[in-house]
Structure 1
Amino acid sequence: MPENISFGAHLVSVWLNSARFCTESGRPLPLPRLASNGGECSFDGLVAHVSKDIRARVVLDECLRLGIVRIDDQDCVHLEAMAFIPQRGFDEKAAYFRHNLHDHACAAAHNLTESGEPFFERSVHYDGLSSSSVEQLRDAVRTEGMQVLIAFNQLAAELEGQDVPEPDARQRITIGLYFYTEPSPPDTPPSTKASSS
């Protein structure tokens, strides 16, 4: 991952998982922009918590450019996404595309070719739904799927805080969830499937 994306993802994870910057339910708090107004519980404090080597204003400008945060009339910074999801910035979106496609393809290839325990890879597909049903499912995936990923993020953050692996024993993970829709071919009879790999 490019450095700005790795830093941004770490920043959002701390914002969502550190009691100083979120509620008990993992909801991000609006943070005063300046340490002079919020001390350690400010956006300046959040950036300093993640790294002492970068100025908070640079981070704020980049987060604003990517649509990750907004500033309100009281000069508080609000997290606009429950994950580091750039709304703008082609390079940032392309980096996530490469990362997610790589890891999903590697999991699928492992499941096809390896004899060990398979990676979890499951999907549900239907081809006889109306547009309104698809919209209802899209909303459910957006809401409930995000809650599942937030829970995994919180668990991973807790485990990472407890773990102290040797440098050559560290492992990375990717847990993903996606939604896709397109028109069904008109001559295909409706069917329902639950697929597993």
Structure 2
Amino acid sequence: MQDRISWAQSACARVMRPLVRLALGMGLKHPHLESMLRDLLLDEATRLWQQQGVAAPNISQLAVTTGLNRKDVTARVRRPADPLPHTELSAAAKTFTRWLQLASRDPALLRLPIAGGDEGLSFEEVAREASRGDVHHRAVLDELMRLGMVAKADANHVELTAEGFVPTADLQTTLAFLGDNLRDHAAAAVSNALGEAPLLLERAVFAEGLGEADCDAVHQWMRERWAALHRDLVSQLSEALTRSGAQGSRRLRVGVYVYHAEREGEAE
């Protein structure tokens, strides 16, 4: 049992090291991280009890599971509001992805008229389809322009200026994507480690002793491969959503990453 705890502690430390770097880089201190960890322990403990059929675990059950004292559990029974947006629900992300999919088939669609008219497909139509009419196309366009994903070609036309929905012009959105993507990547690995079924695809290739130019070449190669795979994935998922009427109960995220650094910085 002690070995399992030591192994798990070491694995958690490796995963958390870059997150601690992020926290320190953003100005978080020990009290912020401790408070966050206590909230997460309580949240996950509640979920574990609910999986065992206990709809509303009591204070004692939560205290035993988390190691928190009863007073602390009582003070934290209300889950704090998440100040970051949910990226998977973004009308801007859905519109951008749909537009990118169409443009990959016909490069002429990289530039669209803003409103419908006699010029064929318009941004208004793409936004209406992607957001199912829930958000006005002008609001979607304003958001994409704010994020630096789209630019005005002239008074009546807009064009894509990014190859993927990875906004870097807005810190809040950048952090939201970082959180969502790393959460699901880690969730896949944790699910596999805990023996939850079915096993999920979660693989990586590692090499050392490379030069910087070699790393850059592999990075570019992966970008190109991902661009092609991304188009196929979006098409397949679009067809699946059409078949289900977007009424299915499952969510799915597929991703890829590349990381390289000097050897002495690899104690992660």
Q: TM-score, normalised by structure 1?
A: 0.79
* Cross-structure match for 2:46: none
Determine which structure has the larger helix proportion and give its number: 2
1:19-64: CA deviations, max 9, x gaps? xx5463688431112324646x111222233343433322222111
1:43 paired residue among 98, 123, 144 = 123
Amino acid at match of 2:128: A
Q: Say which SS state the counterpart of residue 116 (structure 1) adopts.
A: coil
The answer on whether the counterparts of 2:144 and 2:150 sit within 8 Å (CA) in structure 1 is yes
Map 1:34-73; keep pairs closer than 5 Å.
34-36=115-117, 38=119, 41-49=121-129, 50-73=131-154
* Cross-structure match for 2:14: none
Which structure's relative contact order is higher, taking Cα pairs within 8 Å and 6+ residues apart? 1
Quick one: distance in 1 between partners of 2:136 and 2:110? 21
1:2 paired residue among 85, 88, 93 = 85
Matched, 1:16 2:100: yes
Map 1:142-157; keep pairs closer than 5 Å.
142-157=223-238
Question: Which blocks of at least 5 consecutive residues in structure 1 are unaligned?
Answer: 187-197
- Poorly superposed stretches of 4+, deviation over 4 Å: 25-28
The answer on whether the counterparts of 1:68 and 1:87 sit within 8 Å (CA) in structure 2 is no
Quick one: distance in 2 between partners of 1:16 and 1:121? 26
The answer on whether the counterparts of 1:70 and 1:79 sit within 8 Å (CA) in structure 2 is yes
* Cross-structure match for 1:110: 191
1:173 paired residue among 237, 241, 252 = 252
* Identical counterparts, % of pairs: 26
Larger Rg: 2
Q: TM-score, normalised by structure 2?
A: 0.59
Question: Which blocks of at least 5 consecutive residues in structure 2 are unaligned?
Answer: 1-83
Q: Say which SS state the counterpart of residue 159 (structure 2) adopts.
A: strand
Note closer, same or farther for the CA distance 1:83–1:158 as it changes in structure 2 (3 Å cut): farther
* Cross-structure match for 1:138: 219
Quick one: distance in 2 between partners of 1:22 and 1:138? 24
Aligned length: 180
Superposition RMSD on alpha carbons, in Å? 2.6
* Cross-structure match for 1:100: 181
* Cross-structure match for 1:184: 263
Determine which structure has the larger strand proportion and give its number: 1
